[in-house]
Amino acid sequence: MKRQFKTMVENFCHWESHTPEKVFLKQPRGGDFKDFTFYEAGQQIRKIAQWLLDQNFPPRSNIGILSKNCAHWIMTDLAISMAGHISVPFYPTLTDEQLRQVLVHSDCKVLFVGKLDAWESMKNGVPASIHCVSFPTYYEGAPAQFENWESIIQSHKTLERFEITSYNDVSTIVYTSGTTGVPK
């Protein structure tokens, strides 16, 4: 029996192969927009996925995303899934204590850090054991120990073949915002 719905990676790959030059994402930048075609986004997604695979994490590892909505958030989410891992997005308004609690509870291996208003008040919540990657543009002046999105894109090959996770597999773990206590 054929499934009625496809995974987000299957849907992305369909449009990437059928409409590579069409705009997939538009990221506002000041008074202008940066467009990412399906092809351009696919190249970045596949390189980030390859970098994640190169880290040799156990399959289905939890990978965190800490950012407001932006094009790189979506690309990261797709890359995590493409690499066979589980995304764990965190609210960009968490306190450092809340962030630490959910990072430790979820056993995140990597945290992608992007567009934020209050990183200075959050950064102490990131345990030293968690490897951080900064999105381009949004987090200028990232600490030296952060891996940089652009350097990953420039230094990694494009993932060509990967296994599509099962439609029934967990793809994302979502915590509450913690407005009524500790995020759950």
The average confidence (pLDDT) of the chain is: 90
In this structure, the strands spanning 23-29 and 110-113 are: unpaired
Specify which residues 29 forms β-bridges with. 32
- Tens of pLDDT, residues 96-137: 999 999 999 999 999 999 988 888 889 999 999 999 999 987
* pLDDT given for residue 23 in this prediction: 98
Quick check: 141 pLDDT over 60?
no
Burial of 155 (0-12, 13-18, 19+ CB in 10 A): exposed
Number of residues that this document lists for the chain: 184
| CA–CA gap between residue 30 and residue 39 (Å, rounded) | 24
- Tens of pLDDT, residues 151-165: 999 999 999 888 877
* pLDDT given for residue 1 in this prediction: 55
Choice among 14-18, 21-25, 85-89, 169-173 with the minimum mean pLDDT: 169-173
* pLDDT given for residue 74 in this prediction: 97
- CB 124 within 8 Å of CB 101: no
- CB 98 within 8 Å of CB 74: no
Nearest in space to 12 (alpha carbons), one of 102, 77, 84:
77
Which pLDDT band holds residue 182 (cuts at 50, 70, 90)?
A: confident
Tokens read off for 10: 């299957």
Cα dihedral: 86, 92, 96, 100 (round 10): -10
Angle formed by the axes of helices 38-54 and 71-82, nearest 10°: 50
Question: Is the four-CA dihedral 13, 76, 63, 184 of positive or negative sign?
Answer: negative
Nearest in space to 107 (alpha carbons), one of 77, 62, 59:
62
Which pLDDT band holds residue 168 (cuts at 50, 70, 90)?
A: confident
Which pLDDT band holds residue 178 (cuts at 50, 70, 90)?
A: low
